[in-house]
Amino acid sequence: MLGGVVVMGEIHFGQVGSGFMTTIHDDGTTSTAPTAKCDGCEQEQTKSGGLAIRDVGLETVLWLCYKCRA
């Protein structure tokens, strides 16, 4: 509790290997985003902002999350 106001952050959860992460936002709404395992940090991260390095056949050979690509 902060100055008589309850402060709550967003909650992120997902099942490892499911390929999706669900977020409960501060206003009570939810959203679902696809995930992938980052080749840099080896954590399950949302695909938003990530970087895919592809070979000539357009198959992804390296995927970095938004934190590792910076």
Cα(46)–Cα(39) distance, integer angstroms: 13
Q: How many residues belong to the chain? A: 70
Q: Has residue 55 been placed in a domain?
A: yes
Number of domains in the chain: 1
Q: Has residue 15 been placed in a domain?
A: yes
Quick: pLDDT tens for 27-39.
888 888 888 889 9
Residue type, 36: A
Does 2 score more than 60 pLDDT? no
Q: Highest-confidence range of 31-40, 42-51, 52-61, by mean pLDDT?
A: 52-61
Report the 3 state secondary structure along 33-65: EEEEECCCCCCEEECCCCEEEECCCCCEEEEEC
Task: Tell me the mean pLDDT in the region 8-37.
Answer: 82
Q: 51 falls in which pLDDT band (50, 70, 90)?
A: very high
Q: Tell me, yes or no, if the pTM score tops 0.75.
A: no
Q: Has residue 51 been placed in a domain?
A: yes
Q: Has residue 35 been placed in a domain?
A: yes
Q: Has residue 49 been placed in a domain?
A: yes
Q: Has residue 3 been placed in a domain?
A: no
Cβ within 8 Å of residue 26, ≥6 positions away: 8, 9, 10
